Chains A and B, each alone.
Chain A
């Protein structure tokens, strides 16, 4: 048996199908993954994401440390609560993980992936040796993501004592209230909050969200939602073998200033030599479902691979992310069940706020 979050019993009561995810017993769905997906696009759904790793970075040199550790620059965080998406790279520019870092009143808080937890913490601690910083995991915190067009109003209904703070939150900002933290972030392409809450209080919060009409959603819907939103999944769409420049993450790397960070030289070298491939969106409007690891064939340029693919419940056909040769144009083919099928190449995201957005 794997690790269980403090909401495991609530999932069982709700009839969840439980699967192993990075060593955790997590809900895959509570009946229908597609209905849960629509619920988030149209109303409000909630995900137990307590398996994710919350790490506080504190100390006199927290800022200097993070400016060196991360490919994106925490100096972009001009006010308390602002959040930044960044890759954490190794010396060769490979992506060790992707994470969100929040500027806290005094220090910083990062949220990293669960499957990479041990590797991340070891790396962060190793790099911390030459800085005056402390790395503190916060396993006593649970995290619930409430997402969808009605998410904010329903959270206010569930915890009216915090509604003033919730009203104040700007997009991509997180603020603390006592021992809670409300963050206007997510992994679905909808508005909503990710709420960090002490594990002891999480089951009651979950219950009050249920009573406010928020429906529980599993990891299955989380994956189709993030893929429609064109958001990368670590371990599928990028890993240590590729750089952010090959992963549709160039926007998260600041290379132009005089700041040094781990992997910077490798990225500059790669840029000069020419980035060999890129991560793009694929769309198949005909029948069939694009899936991870299917081969992509680009006329005259060579081959690529789908890194994650799925049926898009919002669009009614299949979409995927794929790593393809850098010069790939608007068309390519995917090998599906031994046949080559033509697909369109687009720039992700596919869906935002419930609507198709790609050209």
Chain B
């Protein structure tokens, strides 16, 4: 069973979102389940810093040895940082999907959007349904 931290929010397309302690920055990445499905990640395409994105937008692409997959933003706002380490070390997405393998950070324009995302329990059900 894959690791699904209880404090994060999720999209059924396997992105996670974490509200940071400043109360407005949301960090986004892909889940342990997603990295396991993809296999070794070899390229990550990230949004531009300062770009404005809306919840549900395609914000990047993750390519593994097996497949290319779009990455969607769970929230709306301005991109304030991207994980440049992934350029040289895309394997961080496999080894540490919830921490060093983060994708980008958004200054969220509407924190209510977080409330409409899946919680860990609901996301675990999504993964389970996919496995069967």
Q: Measuring CB to CB, which residues of chain A are less than 8 angstroms from any residue of chain B? A: 28-29, 32-34, 220, 224, 287-289, 291, 310-311, 337
State the majority secondary structure of interface residues on A: mixed
Give the shortest distance, in Å, between A285 (CB) and chain B (any CB).
13
A288:B65 contact, CB within 8 angstroms: no
A33:B43 contact, CB within 8 angstroms: no
Bound: A311/B61 CA distance, A: 15
Name the contact of A289 in the complex, choosing from B42, B91, B94 (C-beta under 8 A): B42
7 pairs, A vs B, C-beta closer than 8 Å: A29-B39, A34-B42, A34-B91, A224-B65, A287-B43, A287-B45, A289-B68
Bound: A289/B91 CA distance, A: 15
Is B63 part of the binding interface, using a Cβ–Cβ cutoff of 8 Å? yes
Bound: A340/B12 CA distance, A: 30
A288:B43 contact, CB within 8 angstroms: yes
A311:B45 contact, CB within 8 angstroms: no
Nearest-CB residue, chain B, relative to A221: B65
Nearest-CB residue, chain A, relative to B67: A291
A288:B40 contact, CB within 8 angstroms: no
Q: How many A-B pairs fall under 8 Å by CB?
A: 34
Name the contact of B39 in the complex, choosing from A33, A291, A337 (C-beta under 8 A): A33
List B contacts of A29 (CB < 8 A): 39
List the 8 closest pairs (A to B, CB-CB), nearest first. A311-B42, A34-B40, A289-B63, A33-B40, A287-B43, A33-B65, A311-B65, A32-B40
A337:B68 contact, CB within 8 angstroms: yes
List A contacts of B43 (CB < 8 A): 287-289, 311
List B contacts of A220 (CB < 8 A): 39, 65-66
Nearest-CB residue, chain A, relative to B36: A17
Of listed A220, A289, A291, residue having the most chain B CB within 10 A: A289
Bound: A28/B66 CA distance, A: 11
List A contacts of B68 (CB < 8 A): 289, 291, 337
Of listed A34, A220, A224, residue having the most chain B CB within 10 A: A34
Bound: A32/B42 CA distance, A: 12
Bound: A130/B40 CA distance, A: 51
Given contacts A32-B40, A33-B40, A288-B43, contact A310 B65 (CB under 8 A): yes
Bound: A90/B63 CA distance, A: 39
Give the shortest distance, in Å, between A350 (CB) and chain B (any CB).
15
Give the shortest distance, in Å, between A312 (CB) and chain B (any CB).
10
